């Protein structure tokens, strides 16, 4: 069960909004140097305001733009425990799953939620709740493979525990 404070964002939040491309080479030395710039143009000082467990709730096409893996990785590093949105850019969705950041498609939760609301995401039962508003939405369960990757904390951890899965050419 994921439970945290909502950070409400709109449609078309790009990977450049999450972490500007001008910082992409900072990761050569350390992702830590990029932390102060996470969502800096959308929510100034976000890295100091966000708390471990918080949830981003957004509109359509979250994570559009480049395939920059630092975007979902940095959201996870600063404490975001899940992103709930009406839709995701495909490469962001896959990058988030690969690093163990749950990304949940929901249509009504983004409409009823505001920054500061308490959001619960129950991946096992397939429910997202806005506790503050008393609103609940059923979501489609993850395919078995994605659920397993998220449960272990990402694809690298999954492979460490079980070996490469058949869908990646392995036998595990």
Q: Output the CA torsion 168→56→140→110 (10° steps).
A: -150
Residues 86 and 12 in one domain: yes
* pLDDT above 60: residue 83: yes
Residues 54 and 135 in one domain: yes
Residues 166 and 116 in one domain: no
Three-state secondary structure call for residue 17: helix
Residues 151 and 120 in one domain: no
Residues 114 and 71 in one domain: yes
Domain of residue 82, residue span:
2-141
Residues 85 and 147 in one domain: no
* pLDDT above 80: residue 167: no
Model confidence at 94, pLDDT cuts 50, 70, 90, reads very high
State pLDDT tens for residues 42-75.
999 999 999 999 999 999 999 998 877 889 999 9
Residues 107 and 55 in one domain: yes
Residues 12 and 49 in one domain: yes
* pLDDT above 80: residue 39: yes
Residues 104 and 165 in one domain: no
Q: How many domains does the chain have?
A: 2
Q: Exposed, middle or buried, 24 (CB in 10 Å: 0-12/13-18/19+)?
A: middle
- The pLDDT value given to residue 27: 57
Mean per-residue pLDDT, 16-27: 77
d(CA 19, CA 61): 16
Residues 106 and 168 in one domain: no
Least Cα distance to 115 among 58, 167, 70 occurs for 58
Radius of gyration from C-alpha coordinates of the chain = 16
State pLDDT tens for residues 120-151.
999 989 999 999 999 999 999 888 889 999 99
Residues 168 and 119 in one domain: no
* pLDDT above 60: residue 28: no
Residues 136 and 150 in one domain: no
- The pLDDT value given to residue 55: 98
* pLDDT above 90: residue 33: no
Give the CATH number of the domain where residue 25 resides: 3.20.19.10
- In DSSP notation, 103-152 reads EEE-SSHHHH--TT-EEEEETTTTEEEETTTTEEEE-PPPPHHHHHHHHH
């Amino acid at each position: 069960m994921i439970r945290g404070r909502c950070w409400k964002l709109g449609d078309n939040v790009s990977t450049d909004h999450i972490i500007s491309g001008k910082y992409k080479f900072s990761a050569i030395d350390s992702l830590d140097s990029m932390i102060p710039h996470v969502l800096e143009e959308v929510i100034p000082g976000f890295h100091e305001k966000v708390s471990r467990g918080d949830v981003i709730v957004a509109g359509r096409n979250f994570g559009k733009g480049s395939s920059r893996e630092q975007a979902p990785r940095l959201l996870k590093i600063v404490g975001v425990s899940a992103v709930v949105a009406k839709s995701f850019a495909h490469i962001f969705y896959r990058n988030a799953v690969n690093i163990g950041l749950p990304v949940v498609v929901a249509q009504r939760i983004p409409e009823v939620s505001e920054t500061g609301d308490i959001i619960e995401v129950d991946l096992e039962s397939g429910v997202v709740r806005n506790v503050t508003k008393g609103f609940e939405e059923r979501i489609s369960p993850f395919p078995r493979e994605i659920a397993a990757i998220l449960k272990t904390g990402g694809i690298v951890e999954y492979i460490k525990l079980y070996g490469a899965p058949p869908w990646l050419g392995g036998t595990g």
